[in-house]
Structure 1
Amino acid sequence: MASKFLMQHPQFKLLIINLAFTAWLLAVAILLQQLATDHPVQWDMTQNGNNSLSDSTVNVLAQMPGKIKLTMFINENQGDMQQAARDFVATYQRYKPDIRLIFIDPEKQPEQARKANIRLNGEMLVDYGGRRERLSQLNEQAFTGLLLRMMRTRNQLVRYLDTHGEPSLEGNREHDLGKFGRQLRQNGFRLEGLNLAQASKIPIDTSILILTQPQIDLLPGEIEKLLHYVAGGGNLLWLVDFGPLHGLERMAENLDILLTPGIVIDPAAEEMNLPATWALGANYPPHVITQNFNLTTTFPLARSIDWEESDAWHRIPLAEVAPRGWLSHNIPEDKPYFNSTQDVPGPITIALTLQRNINDREQRIAIVGSSLFLANAYSGNGGNLDLGVGMVNWLGHEEIFISPRLRPVKDDTVTLSKTDLGILNGSLLVALPMLLISVGAVLWWRNLRHAQK
């Protein structure tokens, strides 16, 4: 009876089919919504990763007990900027729910803005652990860098020699280490140059001393001050290049370090269309600094770091390179080749750490056979900066902060001409709706014909 009725009235059959399909679609939608609630999954397709956080940031948040208060001074009529701030902070709140964001309109509450010394609309105050910092740029690199600085309670001072033509940690020339210095500042370290000729000794508040390649000889008195610093348990990062040591030979002897003349030749670099005089670091011996470190590093004009066996220090190789390469006695002018009478086959150790207990504390030293790997011209290659900052964190006894550096902010501005904008508007406002209407009409016509058969 029912089938006969449906045969005589096809429109009811079509209605039943549509209702059944609608009910099925709603059931699927409800099921998917429940699954999304119980098992949330996100994909961030933006170029800058605006809707997600890097592993480094997640690691930082996991190590921050206590609440974080964010106070943003912004005009009330700038709702778009407020929403952008909410969305940005929300990515952090997923991992640390006790981050609190409030807005204050400096025009309606000028006294609060004056007390906070607010100079820019959109400026943010960050309060954590009794400390306060200012934030004027709202991106992951700036905000997480600020949190790192606030986490550091020791406020360590890094000093470096800069009166003998050494690369400067605050310079902008290609061979300077300015980018490395800025990365250290972003991670909460203080930097200060040191003139050994004027200082009676290396100040006691020096947490880490960075020694790079001098271009002129150090005075005997300066060498004595360096040796006295090391003998007293001072932590040291020594970036030693191929070429004359200008008096630092005594430092190598004091540390039982052998600096074999020559530079590393790495065929793997040539295979990557890089100069053969660049050594590539890819496999690292086990060390706290390189734990979970899977980035390639490049060491231009690297030299070998070897040592004499002794019980004075505990030594751990940090980077071994050129397993198919060799240590060349001279810088090759043409295509490099292995000279069996002069050259040393790889692999070559080019970075080394030393540890010992002295004066009731652990002294740490890191030696790398290339300062160029942290130079402005090369520090952006692979994981060079990550490795450099990791070494300084280790030297400062703050392994908790060793992690890959924060991802840089890329330019995400999209510029469209009037023609491009017109095409885009026409596609979204006219073409796309017409397409959907056409597809719907075709599907409706086919269903209607099928029901009439």
Structure 2
Amino acid sequence: MAIRKNKRRALLLLLGWGGLFFGLGKGYIDQEYNYVLIGLACVGALCLVVYLKNLQQQCSQAKRIRNPKKVLFFVLLIFFNMLAYIGINYAAYKNNIRFDVTQFKQHTLSENTLKLITSLKENLKISILYVGFPPKYLEDLLKEYERLSEGKISTEIIDPIIQIGYAAQFGQIIQGKERKAVVQSGNERADVDFSQTPLTEDLLNNAIKSVTRKARAVYFLTGHNEYPLFNNEDNGLSKFTKYLMTNNVIAKELVLTNNENIPTDCSVLIIPGPKENLSELEENIIRDYLKGGGDALFLIENVVVTTPDKPLTEDEIDKNPSLNSLLNEWGVNVNQDIVVDLASHASGDVGSPATRNYMAHQDIIKNIDYTFYIRPRSISLEKDRRESIKAVPFILTQSKEQSWGETNRTLEVKFDAGVDRPGPVPIGFVIFEPLAEDLLKDIKSNKGTRIIVVSDADFLTNAYVDYYNNAEMGLRIINWLAQLDYEVFVEKDFTKVEEFNLTSQQKRMVIALLYIFPVMIVFLGFIAKAKQYF
């Protein structure tokens, strides 16, 4: 008799689950409920009600049901389990820690993005114009930006064909294959076209910076055979210019004429490896600019080398000026040598030292790895510099005994004690002098002249800027000189991630299955515990 009752209960449970979930699930997946599906769901629900009624009767006959402490314990167990579930999910939502097992961490925002979002002071809105069903990665990306911003960022995905009236406010008509992100903050707006490649953090971050931060201008001196700013060849600086643009820094060319001074909007003056001497007038203009609190980056071109059978001419010896007529006034001197490192160098060239031997200047070199430089010169301190000048090396060769400043320019690499500068050799210097009025008032201030000297200009050219951490070093230098208080961003190449796209019906099928099994497990667990305690 008991066996038959158990079979009937099992049949009721099976019919109940089957009818309820098939009726509701099928209707949800097809987005259409008919009388058959509704009837199945009702029959299933009725079977479950009957099953639970029989279970209640069975439990009421047991002696253990008379113990109210066990009933209370069972209720409290359910309550605290639900509380723990809610608490864990809330903590996971508020915390940025993610167990992302995808190969390229596509569901985890970078540390730079987190710093950018948390530094926002104004609200902004991200509107995605996307024809058709948006990919899951796009929805996840926007949700993460919203979550981390704590209400400062709002997002939306608009289908310009379906919501044509609403999409019209963004201006031009979006074509079928065109994808666009519109970032708005106050009266500022930035558009990002991601029709050809997926929308990345870098693209969004650049747009956010352009609408929330004031653009800075840096001027590259020209007219002395410097490295061309917008040239796409190996010796050009177009890639570095692009990196500056992504950090909302505008690069401009500057030709100093008889009637022209340094523009007033110049945040940093960059002298990118002149191969010809500056005129006395140009030096005076730069000198006045620096004395007035202007900031500058000096990139010094390497000396000319030769072989023993081809001695250098007088012109070749003096070619590629060191600019010491300006730099000596600020406490440093660029020497006529070539820094070599036999132990740490790039591409088998001992004259291209690779290093991460940086002095403790955290604003520039914090967490930055190796950089390398092409035939740099050694830089030394001037003994008779002004006491108010603070000049310290911040880039040195990696090795000590295996590096030196080679004065022999005939490619015969050999250390000569007393002649060559022993390692580790400084190839980059940071210089700061407070404004004269602050010195007189004995005020400690960050205002004043900031100068950085690097005895190589090639490391930022198109041929080398993407190797090691050269681009990041260049951007951090500009960041410090311009006194920008935010992180620099180096836009990385997009790594294609294979996508598995589902139709809307398939998505609903997956969602239904994801709900069915957990609910079923919870229900069965409830029944098991009820039988155990009652």
TM norm structure 2: 0.65
User: Given the superposition, is the C-alpha separation of residues 135 and 302 from structure 1 closer, same or farther in structure 2, using an over 3 Å criterion?
Assistant: same
1:258–1:306 CA contact under 8 A, matched in 2: yes
Structure 1 position 296, deviation (Å): 0.9
SS in structure 2 at match of 1:289: helix
Instruction: Give the whole-Å Cα distance in 1 for the aligned partners of 2:324 and 2:353.
Output: 24
- Structure 1 residue 218 and structure 2 residue 218: aligned? no
User: Of Structure 1 and Structure 2, which has the larger fraction of its residues in helix?
Assistant: 2
Instruction: Give the whole-Å Cα distance in 2 for the aligned partners of 1:115 and 1:30.
Output: 45
Q: Which residue of 1 aligns with 2:469?
A: 383
Q: Which residue of 2 aligns with 1:281?
A: 355
1:236–1:364 CA contact under 8 A, matched in 2: yes
1:211–1:238 CA contact under 8 A, matched in 2: yes
Instruction: Give the whole-Å Cα distance in 2 for the aligned partners of 1:47 and 1:186.
Output: 26
Q: Which residue of 1 aligns with 2:156?
A: 102
TM norm structure 1: 0.76
SS in structure 2 at match of 1:277: strand
Structure 1 position 351, deviation (Å): 0.8
Instruction: Give the whole-Å Cα distance in 1 for the aligned partners of 2:109 and 2:148.
Output: 9
Q: Deviations over 1:405-429 (max 9, x none)?
A: 3543224469xxxxxxxxxxxxxxx
Q: Which residue of 2 aligns with 1:402?
A: 487
Q: Which residue of 2 aligns with 1:56?
A: 112
Instruction: Give the whole-Å Cα distance in 2 for the aligned partners of 1:372 and 1:378.
Output: 7
User: Given the superposition, is the C-alpha separation of residues 52 and 179 from structure 1 closer, same or farther in structure 2, using an over 3 Å criterion?
Assistant: same
Q: Deviations over 1:314-335 (max 9, x none)?
A: 112211114231111135636x
Matches within 5 A, 1:31-430: 37=89, 40=92, 42-75=98-131, 78-81=132-135, 83-98=136-151, 99-120=153-174, 121-137=178-194, 138-153=199-214, 155-197=215-257, 200-243=260-303, 244-246=319-321, 248-270=323-345, 274-309=348-383, 310=385, 311-321=387-397, 322-324=399-401, 325-331=403-409, 333=411, 336-358=413-435, 361-398=447-484, 400-403=485-488, 405-412=490-497
Structure 1 position 39, deviation (Å): 6.0
User: Given the superposition, is the C-alpha separation of residues 330 and 150 from structure 1 closer, same or farther in structure 2, using an over 3 Å criterion?
Assistant: farther
SS in structure 2 at match of 1:196: coil
User: Given the superposition, is the C-alpha separation of residues 220 and 397 from structure 1 closer, same or farther in structure 2, using an over 3 Å criterion?
Assistant: same
**Cα-Cα RMSD:** 3.0
Matches within 5 A, 1:15-26: none
Structure 1 position 132, deviation (Å): 1.6
Q: Deviations over 1:11-44 (max 9, x none)?
A: xxxxxxxxxxxxxxxx9x9999789636645333
Instruction: Give the whole-Å Cα distance in 2 for the aligned partners of 1:217 and 1:273.
Output: 31
User: Given the superposition, is the C-alpha separation of residues 392 and 245 from structure 1 closer, same or farther in structure 2, using an over 3 Å criterion?
Assistant: same
2:127–2:181 CA contact under 8 A, matched in 1: yes
Instruction: Give the whole-Å Cα distance in 2 for the aligned partners of 1:401 and 1:174.
Output: 30
Q: Which runs of 5+ in 1 are unaligned?
A: 6-26, 415-453
Structure 1 position 73, deviation (Å): 2.2
Structure 1 position 236, deviation (Å): 0.3
User: Given the superposition, is the C-alpha separation of residues 95 and 260 from structure 1 closer, same or farther in structure 2, using an over 3 Å criterion?
Assistant: same
Query: Amino acid of the residue matched to residue 405 of structure 2?
Result: L
User: Given the superposition, is the C-alpha separation of residues 339 and 35 from structure 1 closer, same or farther in structure 2, using an over 3 Å criterion?
Assistant: farther
1:394–1:402 CA contact under 8 A, matched in 2: no
Aligned residues: 383
Structure number with greater Rg is 2
Structure 1 position 207, deviation (Å): 1.2
SS in structure 1 at match of 2:363: coil
Instruction: Give the whole-Å Cα distance in 2 for the aligned partners of 1:60 and 1:395.
Output: 20
Instruction: Give the whole-Å Cα distance in 1 for the aligned partners of 2:107 and 2:172.
Output: 28
Q: Deviations over 1:272-317 (max 9, x none)?
A: 7531111122121111333532311111111112121431411122
Instruction: Give the whole-Å Cα distance in 2 for the aligned partners of 1:212 and 1:401.
Output: 24
Q: Deviations over 1:191-230 (max 9, x none)?
A: 1101113652111221110002222333332222222222
Instruction: Give the whole-Å Cα distance in 1 for the aligned partners of 2:220 and 2:368.
Output: 29
Instruction: Give the whole-Å Cα distance in 2 for the aligned partners of 1:247 and 1:377.
Output: 23
Bigger shift: 348-357 or 279-288?
279-288
